[in-house]
Structure 1
């Protein structure tokens, strides 16, 4: 059996992720207390379901403390368990609640939306370390669906090396394990012909291949990751996210993320381009 647990902050896209999994053939349950995980999974096994997705969050906060224990018990029974934790920057969440006019689950007469978000972040802090984190601050619903689908399809017996390009002007992604700043490299943005293109387009590739500093930067990052990757693998981690940032997230970071993904092709690799997905 496979169990995908969806958790995270209210307004971060948990419903979008759960719906995508439902459309992909998972039997989905929203807002299940963690104490009931074992019983529910046993019931679904008897019914013949082998792919289950369940959201667990602060709506049933009194039971969150037992989630690590329940996950381990299910793994010992042979269930493939993985957790996806969705989060967003506080100002993004405040804006989303304002636009939808929805009530935050932890709201109270004496507590603002921002205070409710901060409280929820504290309650979920321990849970966020149990699986793979996805920062949805700058993601469209379609991009989030794509990211979740990629992660669900990854082989859990191997560490997934995820390269993520982003633009510093949009903020550093919350889900990064390593962050590399490549804003010191030559920028094709200042060439009017190259400006509309991205780091995946051949003219931009040719531009960077003619710049020695770029190849040196790629080689340095590659050596650093190669040196420490075995240590992270021995930690039994499922994912390692390497974020590459330039100013806008369109040229330099995209090119370098693509180059690194190619360099580590023997590993299980995924690529995200946060700003390209956002613009799309």
Structure 2
């Protein structure tokens, strides 16, 4: 998208567990201003407010899903029409996944389905969600089936299918995870951060994550953590260009710790920031236990 193009709003919707969070994080990495779980009725107001601030943002993304009231979902075409009148192009992207894959993903992550509070078994909650979301799927500009995709492939597909931020060369994903839930199957390099000092034992930092400034500052000041980060940075600085030269499509670098909230998240963000300074395009982050 060039500076002369019309501003763009992407509405990310679809089944819970199908990759909507991955899509929003990818768009955020591509300099979209993103928000999740926006009440659908506020779409025009959100666009008007963000577009008129001092930064004049022209690329926006909003996550809207079954957490909205069903009557509001039915009125989304009306509100998207208002967004168009504000001068924005808009796309509704719907993420879908087969039911058996959704069941496995929820089992693997142990997360609650948004409709599970109604006392429904998971399979029934998925069936009800599919029914409520059918009107949005029917008007989507793009439907993406993520049943056979891993996280990195989802990100790649968001970039290529939407035609935004596309770049030549290898994509590098810095991922964090908790060892207690297993090592990511698609990781090319895995670094174990469990030997590093753990902010979990600091009562002030425990509720936070490695993305929060207080945790970053705490770990920035720890010489053991910095020695670890510097050594990994030097290693990857040698090998990422060599993998890139082999015309690979993507590389996944995973950092693990006990809970997947502090040390691993910090390191993934820290290394991603470093390599973005060297190659601004194609560097992504994903925090499995936070998303």
CA distance 1:153–1:15, change in 2 (3 Å): same
**Alignment length, in residue pairs?**
154
Structure 1 residue 51 displacement after superposition? 0.5
Matched, 1:152 2:158: no
**Structure 1 outlier segments of 4+, above 3 Å:** none
**1:58 aligned to 2:86?**
no
1:103: which partner in 2?
Answer: 112
| Structure 2 gap ranges (5+) | 1-6, 165-291
Question: Normalising to structure 2: TM-score of the pair?
Answer: 0.51
Gaps of 5+ in 1: 155-280
Aligned to 2:12: 6
2:21 corresponds to which of 15, 24, 28: 15
Please name the residue that 1:138 is paired with: 148
- Structural RMSD (CA): 1.3
Contact kept? 1:87, 1:135, Cα under 8 Å: yes
> Which residue number corresponds to residue 245 of structure 1?
none
Tell me, in whole angstroms, the C-alpha distance in 2 between the residues paired with 1:147 and 1:109: 34
Matched residues in 2 for 1:143 and 1:109: separation?
33
Structure 1 residue 109: Cα displacement: 5.8
Matches for 1:46-125 after TM superposition, within 5 Å: 46-47=52-53, 48-62=56-70, 63-108=72-117, 110-125=119-134
Superposed CA offset, 1:61-108 (max 9, x none): 342121111112212332110011001000100110011011100014
Contact 2:48 2:86 in 1 (8 A): no
Counterparts of 1:94 and 1:105, CA distance in 2: 13
Q: Is the CA contact (8 Å cut-off) linking 1:33 and 1:64 kept in structure 2? A: no
Q: Distance in 2 between matches of 1:78 and 1:45?
A: 10
Report the Cα distance in structure 1 between the residues aligned to 2:84 and 2:46, rounded to whole angstroms: 15
What is the TM-score when the length of structure 1 is the normalising length? 0.53
CA distance in 2, matches of 1:11, 1:39: 28
CA distance in 2, matches of 1:12, 1:74: 26
